[in-house]
Structure 1
Amino acid sequence: EVRTISKRVSLIIKLRPYMIIKVLTLNNRKHGHAKCHLLAIDILTKKKFKHIIPSSHNCDLFHMSCINFQFIDIFENRFLFFFIVNGITKDNLCLSIDKACLCI
């Protein structure tokens, strides 16, 4: 439920990944639920976003993890070849070019 969210939690809001930076819960009024005001930053674009949602609603959390790797080569079909930390090689990551920035 939304009322259990704290800062630094990653959520999906309107199909976008956000990191919560501030949570404000307002008590319920005469008609309706208590509301949560979420201030979040889009993880991909770094833009701030305000979202108001009833505190009893469910939300989609996600877990991010970082993997260190060593880039080796790029193939003609835009697939990358790299080593992961434990020595495993991967070559199934496609490189797409979108608006003059590289998205992996």
Structure 2
Amino acid sequence: MANAPCPTYGVHRMISRGYTVAWDHNTRSKIASLIGWYRCACGERVITGGTPHFGGAILDYVTEGGIKGTAVIGPASGFLVQRSLIRNTTSSTLNGYRFYSA
């Protein structure tokens, strides 16, 4: 569930930004279950393990509040996340978010 409504659209329109790598921000260990990221025009980000922009399950996910930092490794962006804020759902939707391909 989104922490706040999108100031631009009301519901966050999450556009797929491609594959990513996520690491635990405390231990720096890779979190293999988070593989793709999305960004709304307002700046809100979500990292998921699934492909909700194609109608697939979201699986593991973390929203903006759990993203603690970013890194760029070669051509890919990566994120440091708070592992305790990773959630899981088999749904392809989340309240307050809509997922789209680029």
TM-score normalised to the size of structure 2? 0.26
Query: Per residue, is there more helix in 1 or in 2?
Result: 2
Who wins on radius of gyration, i.e. which is larger? 1
TM-score normalised to the size of structure 1? 0.25
Between 1 and 2, higher relative CO (CA 8 Å, sep ≥ 6) is seen in 2
Query: Per residue, is there more strand in 1 or in 2?
Result: 1
